[in-house]
Amino acid sequence: MHVKYHLYHIGRTDMPVIPLTSQEISAVTQFIASLHAKAFTPANLDKVDARCPVCGALLEKEVAIKSSLQVAVGGKFYYFECPECKEIFLQDTKGYTRSGYVRDGK
């Protein structure tokens, strides 16, 4: 889930630099987020009423609240499908859209 961060900051590691455009980084990030959502979204959701702003996974607000996977930012509540997504969101609350994907140009 930290793909976008790593792609932007790969120069700080021993890995070779991979020259990617913002659009390419966004596409890779969205693809990996969709894989994460598919892997962690339960098949038996009864009342889908939210979407994780980080990975785009469908979820139930009630389940997220019971699991402490909810935060309020700017008077709006956000719900997450896993603790990792919540942590990523809190590191950059302005960088996420309602669709669950990081904004282009970030």
* Burial track 71-88 (b if 16+ CB lie within 10 A, e otherwise): beeeeeebbbbbeebbeb
Domain-embedded: residue 59: yes
Q: Mind listing the pLDDT tens digit for each residue in 20-51?
A: 888 887 787 778 777 766 666 665 667 888 88
Domain-embedded: residue 102: no
Query: For residue 61, with 0-12 CB atoms within 10 Å meaning exposed, 13-18 middle and 19 or more buried, which class applies?
Result: middle
Domain-embedded: residue 100: no
Domain-embedded: residue 31: yes
pLDDT at 103 over 50: no
pLDDT at 98 over 90: no
Boundaries of domain holding 86: 3-95
pTM over 0.75: no
Q: Where are the beta strands (DSSP E) in the chain?
A: 50-51, 58-59, 70-73, 76-79
